[in-house]
Structure 1
Amino acid sequence: MMEVKKRSTPILPWMRSPIDVSLFEDCPLNLVPCLDPRLEAALEKMAISSLFPVQVAVWQETIGPGAFERDLCINSPTGSGKTLAYALPIVQKLSTRSVKCLRALVVLPTRDLALQVKEVFAAIAPAVGLSVGLAVGQSSIADEIAELIKRPKLEVGMCCDPEDVTFELQSSVDILVATPGRLMDHINSTKGFTLEHLCYLVVDETDRLLRESYQSWLPTVLQLTQSNNESLFPLANLFCSSTFGSLKTIRRSGVERGFKGKSHPRLVKMVLSATLTQDPSKLSQLNLHHPLLLTTGKRRYQLPEKLESYKLICEPNLRPLYLVALLQELGEEKCIVFTSSTESTHRLCTLLNLFGDLSIKIKEYSGLQPQSLRSKTLKSFREGKVQVLVCSDAMTRGMDVEGVRNVINYDMPAYIKTYIHRAGRTARAGQAGRCFTLLHKHEVKRFKKMLLKADNDSVPHYSVPSSSIESLRDAYNSALGKLKETVESEASRKRKSGFKFSKLSKAKATGHQKR
Structure 2
Amino acid sequence: MGRQEEASAERETDLVVPWMRAPVDVSHVENCALETLPCLDPRLSKALEKMDISSLFPVQVAVWHETIGPGGFERDLCVNSPTGSGKTLSYALPIVQILSSRAVRCLRALVVLPTRDLALQVKDVFDAIAPAVGLSVGSAVGQSSIAGEISQLIKKPKLDAGICYDPEDLSQNLESAVDILVATPGRLMDHINNTKGFTLEHLRYLVVDETDRLLREAYQSWLPTVLKLTQTSDDGLFPSSTPFLPSAFGSLQTIRRQSVERGFKGKPYPRLVKMVLSATLTQDPSKLIQLDLHHPLFMTTGESRYRLPEKLECLRLTCEPGTKPVSLVALLNSWEDEKCIIFTSSVETTRRLCILLNLFGESKIKAKEYSGGLDQSVRSKVLKGFRKGDIQFLVTSDALTRGTDVKGVTNVINYDMPPFAKTFIHRAGRTARAGQAGRCFTLLNKYEERRFSRLLKKVGCDSCTTHSIPSETLDFYRDKYATALELLKELVESEAPKKGRQAFQHNSRTKRNKTTTSEQA
- Which letter maps to 1:452? K
Could you tell me how far apart the structure 1 residues matched to 2:456 and 2:112 are? 30
3-state DSSP class of the match of 1:226? Answer: coil
Could you tell me how far apart the structure 1 residues matched to 2:350 and 2:293 are? 38
Q: Which residue number corresponds to residue 77 of structure 2?
A: 72
Q: Which residue number corresponds to residue 3 of structure 1?
A: none
Q: Map residues 494-509 of structure 1 onto 2, 5 A cutoff.
A: 494-504=499-509
- Which letter maps to 2:401? T
Q: Which residue number corresponds to residue 41 of structure 1?
A: 46
Could you tell me how far apart the structure 2 residues matched to 1:332 and 1:7 are? 41
Report which stretch shifted further, 203-212 or 452-461.
452-461
Indicate how the Cα distance of structure 1 residues 364 and 7 shifts in structure 2: closer, same or farther if over 3 A, else same: closer
3-state DSSP class of the match of 1:33? Answer: coil
Could you tell me how far apart the structure 1 residues matched to 2:84 and 2:297 are? 21
- Which letter maps to 2:58? P
Q: Map residues 279-294 of structure 1 onto 2, 5 A cutoff.
A: 279-294=284-299
Q: Which residue number corresponds to residue 152 of structure 1?
A: 157
- Which letter maps to 2:106? C
1:156 shift after superposition = 0.0
Q: How many residues align?
A: 497
Could you tell me how far apart the structure 2 residues matched to 1:133 and 1:315 are? 51
Q: Which residue number corresponds to residue 186 of structure 2?
A: 181
Q: Which residue number corresponds to residue 142 of structure 2?
A: 137
Q: Which residue number corresponds to residue 253 of structure 1?
A: none
1:261 shift after superposition = 6.6
Q: Which residue number corresponds to residue 244 of structure 2?
A: 235
Could you tell me how far apart the structure 2 residues matched to 1:285 and 1:315 are? 47
Indicate how the Cα distance of structure 1 residues 507 and 441 shifts in structure 2: closer, same or farther if over 3 A, else same: closer
Indicate how the Cα distance of structure 1 residues 511 and 313 shifts in structure 2: closer, same or farther if over 3 A, else same: closer
Q: Which residue number corresponds to residue 438 of structure 2?
A: 433
Query: How many percent of aligned residue pairs carry the same amino acid?
Result: 66
3-state DSSP class of the match of 2:197? Answer: coil
Q: Which residue number corresponds to residue 83 of structure 1?
A: 88
1:227 shift after superposition = 4.6
Could you tell me how far apart the structure 1 residues matched to 2:50 and 2:166 are? 46
Indicate how the Cα distance of structure 1 residues 466 and 28 shifts in structure 2: closer, same or farther if over 3 A, else same: same
Report which stretch shifted further, 503-512 or 75-84.
503-512
Q: Map residues 301-380 of structure 1 onto 2, 5 A cutoff.
A: 301-380=306-385
Could you tell me how far apart the structure 1 residues matched to 2:384 and 2:75 are? 38
Give the counterpart of 1:57 among 44, 56, 62: 62
Give the counterpart of 2:167 among 162, 165, 172: 162
**Aligned partners of 1:65 and 1:236 also within 8 Å:** no
Q: Which residue number corresponds to residue 473 of structure 1?
A: 478
**Aligned partners of 1:65 and 1:237 also within 8 Å:** no
Is 1:223 the counterpart of 2:228? The answer is yes
Q: Which residue number corresponds to residue 205 of structure 1?
A: 210
Q: Which residue number corresponds to residue 406 of structure 1?
A: 411
**Aligned partners of 1:404 and 1:425 also within 8 Å:** yes
Deviation digits for residues 137-175 of structure 1, max 9, x if unmatched? Answer: 242211111111112222101233534421111111111
**Aligned partners of 2:431 and 2:438 also within 8 Å:** yes
Deviation digits for residues 478-507 of structure 1, max 9, x if unmatched? Answer: 222222232233343233234334545666
Indicate how the Cα distance of structure 1 residues 279 and 297 shifts in structure 2: closer, same or farther if over 3 A, else same: same
**Aligned partners of 1:64 and 1:241 also within 8 Å:** no
Q: Map residues 78-117 of structure 1 onto 2, 5 A cutoff.
A: 78-117=83-122
1:8 shift after superposition = 5.7
1:466 shift after superposition = 1.2
1:119 shift after superposition = 0.3
Indicate how the Cα distance of structure 1 residues 395 and 226 shifts in structure 2: closer, same or farther if over 3 A, else same: same
Could you tell me how far apart the structure 2 residues matched to 1:139 and 1:231 are? 44
Deviation digits for residues 175-197 of structure 1, max 9, x if unmatched? Answer: 11111111111111111111111
Deviation digits for residues 181-217 of structure 1, max 9, x if unmatched? Answer: 1111111111111111110000000011111111111
Could you tell me how far apart the structure 1 residues matched to 2:239 and 2:280 are? 32
**Aligned partners of 2:357 and 2:366 also within 8 Å:** no
Deviation digits for residues 32-89 of structure 1, max 9, x if unmatched? Answer: 1111111111000000001111000000000110000000000111100000000000
1:356 shift after superposition = 2.7
Give the counterpart of 2:127 among 100, 122, 128: 122
**Aligned partners of 2:72 and 2:256 also within 8 Å:** no
Report which stretch shifted further, 502-511 or 412-421.
502-511
**Structure 1 gaps, min length 5:** 1-5, 245-255
**Aligned partners of 1:64 and 1:237 also within 8 Å:** no
Could you tell me how far apart the structure 2 residues matched to 1:123 and 1:239 are? 20
3-state DSSP class of the match of 1:157? Answer: coil
Indicate how the Cα distance of structure 1 residues 511 and 243 shifts in structure 2: closer, same or farther if over 3 A, else same: closer
Indicate how the Cα distance of structure 1 residues 439 and 168 shifts in structure 2: closer, same or farther if over 3 A, else same: same
**Aligned partners of 2:97 and 2:248 also within 8 Å:** no
Could you tell me how far apart the structure 2 residues matched to 1:281 and 1:368 are? 32
Q: Which residue number corresponds to residue 457 of structure 2?
A: 452
Q: Which residue number corresponds to residue 5 of structure 2?
A: none
Could you tell me how far apart the structure 1 residues matched to 2:349 and 2:51 are? 37
Could you tell me how far apart the structure 1 residues matched to 2:406 and 2:163 are? 51
1:454 shift after superposition = 2.4
3-state DSSP class of the match of 1:66? Answer: coil
Could you tell me how far apart the structure 2 residues matched to 1:219 and 1:198 are? 15
3-state DSSP class of the match of 2:368? Answer: strand
Q: Which residue number corresponds to residue 442 of structure 1?
A: 447
1:272 shift after superposition = 0.2
1:375 shift after superposition = 2.0
Deviation digits for residues 460-487 of structure 1, max 9, x if unmatched? Answer: 1000111121111222122222222322
1:242 shift after superposition = 5.2
**Structure 2 gaps, min length 5:** 1-10, 260-268
3-state DSSP class of the match of 1:9? Answer: coil
Could you tell me how far apart the structure 2 residues matched to 1:138 and 1:323 are? 34
1:314 shift after superposition = 0.5
Indicate how the Cα distance of structure 1 residues 147 and 411 shifts in structure 2: closer, same or farther if over 3 A, else same: same
**Aligned partners of 1:21 and 1:294 also within 8 Å:** yes
1:265 shift after superposition = 5.7
Deviation digits for residues 424-475 of structure 1, max 9, x if unmatched? Answer: 1111111110000000011111101111112223311000111121111222
**Aligned partners of 1:196 and 1:228 also within 8 Å:** no
TM normalised by structure 1 equals: 0.91
**Aligned partners of 2:314 and 2:465 also within 8 Å:** yes
Q: Map residues 391-402 of structure 1 onto 2, 5 A cutoff.
A: 391-402=396-407
**Aligned partners of 2:311 and 2:437 also within 8 Å:** yes
